[in-house]
């Protein structure tokens, strides 16, 4: 039988001692609440359904996310680590003081709606600035994985993942931003005027090969084989290595990069940056320069990743098969490849004219 005792502070403590279970204690403000909980908990023990929920009731979300960032995030790729650190900030602001056991699907739904409505961010006119649907989707993904790890590995007594009962925002429409001849000429002229020639080489290589920014800037000299005209990528977004063929233009650009007379002897990076405070050289970070240049030439809405979209679309327009394009770009499914391939309707007109009626 449970034992109910009154504490010196006036609260009521329920104590359950049962063979096969650790001594379980919980304190309540009212005696009736203590009796109800003790009766229910003992009944669950008899039926083999009892779950020790106290750890999840004591652990706040702020401490839980800190543990996740310390134990789980370091096992992921560097870019993912940076993203999770950034996404954890609004989650802590909203859920930080709640215990894990107190976070319900209703609370998560309210967070989703508030972020999508921009309630926590105001524009210059004082009006809310909504968050992008993909931003909220990634935040909910982080929250959901934290609960998955807590349920499966941390032994906190959580019985389910509340994020699984919350509707995710629909993904935004895929981008359809193509680069026209005038924009291409303006961008290339602007990057060529920059004092560091590596910027121009990187932009042209991205358009010639369809490689991602991180794939290009993290390249080591041993990954570039000019004799076979290929680049061997070890770490990619989908974790699968791939070999990217180089056309004549990309081969010439890599040759310039590898024979760069300004290359320091303390790095093996093809595109290197200045030493950091710790004295280590990291990949060339050109993000701020790129943002300034594209605004200056009137292409503020053109992202660097759009160069990859443009490259893949041009591969298709030049007659490469889907299998050949996916081998170059690294897309694992034809459906994903289709999202990144946007053919110009005007380029299809001539092909239609050639078809026989």
Q: Which residues are identified as catalytic?
A: 212, 237, 305, 308, 331, 340
Q: How many residues does the chain have?
A: 357
Q: CA 240 to CA 242: how far, in whole Å?
A: 6
Tokens of 313: 């679309």
Q: CA 304 to CA 308: how far, in whole Å?
A: 8
Q: Is 230:175 a contact under the CB 8 Å cutoff?
A: no
Q: CA 202 to CA 208: how far, in whole Å?
A: 10
Q: CA 351 to CA 162: how far, in whole Å?
A: 53
Q: Is 140:88 a contact under the CB 8 Å cutoff?
A: no
Could you tell me which of 143, 142, 131 has the C-alpha nearest to residue 169? 131
Q: Is 120:90 a contact under the CB 8 Å cutoff?
A: yes
Q: Is 269:222 a contact under the CB 8 Å cutoff?
A: no
């Amino acid at each position: 039988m449970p034992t109910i005792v009154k504490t010196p502070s006036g609260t009521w403590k329920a104590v359950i001692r049962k063979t096969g279970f650790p001594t379980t204690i919980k304190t309540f403000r009212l005696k009736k609440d203590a009796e109800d909980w003790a009766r229910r908990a003992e009944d669950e023990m008899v039926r083999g359904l009892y779950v020790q929920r106290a750890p999840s009731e004591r652990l706040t979300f702020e401490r839980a996310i800190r543990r996740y960032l310390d134990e789980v995030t370091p096992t992921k790729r560097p870019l993912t680590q940076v993203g999770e650190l950034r996404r954890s900030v609004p989650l802590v602001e909203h859920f930080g003081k709640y215990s894990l056991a107190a976070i319900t699907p209703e609370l998560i739904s309210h967070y989703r709606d508030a972020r999508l409505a921009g309630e926590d961010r105001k524009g210059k006119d004082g009006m809310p600035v909504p968050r992008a649907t993909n931003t909220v989707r990634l935040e909910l993904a982080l929250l959901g994985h934290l609960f998955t790890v807590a349920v499966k590995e941390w032994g906190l007594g959580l019985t389910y993942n509340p994020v699984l009962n919350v509707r995710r925002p629909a993904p935004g429409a895929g981008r359809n931003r193509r680069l026209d001849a005038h924009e291409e000429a303006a961008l290339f002229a602007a990057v060529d005027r920059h004092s560091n020639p590596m910027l121009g080489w990187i932009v042209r290589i991205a358009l010639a090969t369809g490689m991602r920014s991180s794939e290009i800037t993290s390249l080591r000299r041993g990954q570039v084989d000019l004799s076979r005209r290929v680049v061997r990528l070890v770490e990619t977004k989908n974790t699968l290595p791939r070999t990217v063929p180089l056309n004549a233009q990309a081969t010439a650009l890599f040759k310039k990069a590898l024979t760069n007379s300004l290359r320091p002897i303390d790095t093996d990076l093809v595109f290197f940056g200045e030493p950091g405070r710790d004295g280590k050289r990291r990949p060339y970070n050109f993000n701020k320069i790129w943002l300034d240049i594209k605004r200056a030439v009137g292409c503020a809405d053109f992202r660097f990743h759009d160069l990859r979209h443009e490259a893949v679309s041009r591969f298709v327009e030049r007659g490469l098969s889907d299998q050949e394009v996916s081998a170059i770009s690294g897309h694992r499914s034809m459906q994903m490849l289709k999202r990144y391939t946007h053919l110009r309707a005007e380029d299809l007109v001539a092909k239609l004219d050639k078809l026989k009626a």
